[in-house]
Amino acid sequence: MPYERPFAAVVTGLPLEYESMRSLLTGLRREQLSETLSTELGDLPDSPWQVALAKVSSHRDAAILDFVVRQLRPDALLFVGIAGSLRDDVVVGDLVVATRTYAFQGGKQTPEGFYARPQSWHPSHRMEQVARSALRGEFRVHFRAVAAGDITLNDEHSSLLNQLKRHYNDAVAIEMESAGIAHAAHLTAGVDTLTIRGISDVADAARMPKDHQRAQARAAARAAQAAAVVLRALKPPPPRPTHVAYGGDHVDFHGSTFFGPAVGKIVPRGDG
């Protein structure tokens, strides 16, 4: 489902994250991807970018995201939302742009102890460099690793926090969605990806914000604003070809999957 204008997909996990990003878009409309799945599209003001919003609740929705990405074929894919801090120098209200995303729950428990078997993914180099330039001076932002898994951490003395510090000591934030989403993006070649997280809480109860809901809303809003800043600074790719001219009868395999025999002739296309 290619688009003539540059097109980005923004993935969120919580309703407040979705609404924070949605509030920055204009001309909202619904796009039907299949009989049971649709997405909301909008325009990012002061930019050429169209943005599709998608919501996933955990890594188990990665298959749905993979379908969405393959249907929409975005030029950029951003994971935007909130996270918890793992470090004293990363405080509530800060932003974290992930330079690496760890799926920290993989491993093997033995009588000798736990052996981590992590997976990790990097953002696209282009998106990271654009973010470093665009966000400089705009926010208090950290370009560091994040850890992702289906666990909420709210105890500074937990075994999980000890495990993270022992095996993933470069991670400064923890959240729940990015690992599965990053894996889905990894399977889709050619998509620029980036994770942006607003810090809404910390593992240390003594440092937790008194108004947790307000802190979450503020963190989600900052992450959405940062995503908009990055997209406005991101140079759109060249326009996609919307039509390929052929001479005579042909069988077009471009962007399609066929099972069984087919009879045709190979002709030069001229689009690389």
Could you tell me the residue ranges of all domains in the chain?
Answer: 7-233
102 vs 11: CA distance, rounded Å: 18
- Using CB atoms within 10 Å of the CB of residue 118, give its burial: 0 to 12 exposed, 13 to 18 middle, 19+ buried: middle
The C-alpha atoms of residue 82 and residue 95 are separated, in whole angstroms, by: 9
Confidence at residue 217, expressed as pLDDT on a 0 to 100 scale: 95
Both tokens assigned to 43: 């325009």
- Give pLDDT, residue 61: 60
What's the confidence (pLDDT) of residue 8?
94
What type of residue sits at position 45?
P
- The strand pair at 76-85 and 192-202 is best described as parallel
Model pLDDT, residue 47: 96
Q: Are 214 and 98 in contact (CB under 8 A)?
A: no
Phi-psi region of 173 (alpha: psi -120 to 50; beta: other; left: phi over 0): beta
The pair of three-digit structure tokens given for residue 91, joined into one six-digit string: 């405080």
CATH number of 7-233, picked from 3.40.50.1580, 3.40.50.2300, 3.20.20.140, 3.20.20.10: 3.40.50.1580
- How confident is the model at residue 31, as a pLDDT? 84
Single pTM value for the model: 0.77
Do residues 47 and 34 make contact, with C-beta atoms less than 8 angstroms apart? no
∠ at Cα 127 (31, 76), nearest 5°? 15
Q: What is the pLDDT of residue 179?
A: 61
Is residue 105 classed as helix, strand or coil in its secondary structure? coil
DSSP string over 191-250: -EEEEEEEEEEES-GGGS-SSHHHHHHHHHHHHHHHHHHHHHHSPPPPPPP------SS-
**Distances from the Cα of 14 to the Cα of 57, 63, 78, 144, 222, angstroms:** 7, 18, 15, 22, 15
Tokens of 163: 């495990």
What is the residue-level pLDDT of the chain in tens, covering all 272 positions? Answer: 556 788 999 989 889 999 999 999 999 999 887 776 778 999 999 999 999 998 876 555 666 677 777 777 888 999 999 998 888 889 999 999 999 888 765 555 666 665 565 667 788 899 999 999 999 988 899 999 988 765 554 555 455 556 666 666 778 888 866 666 666 666 666 688 899 999 998 866 556 666 778 999 999 999 999 999 999 999 988 776 555 454 555 555 555 555 556 565 565 655 55
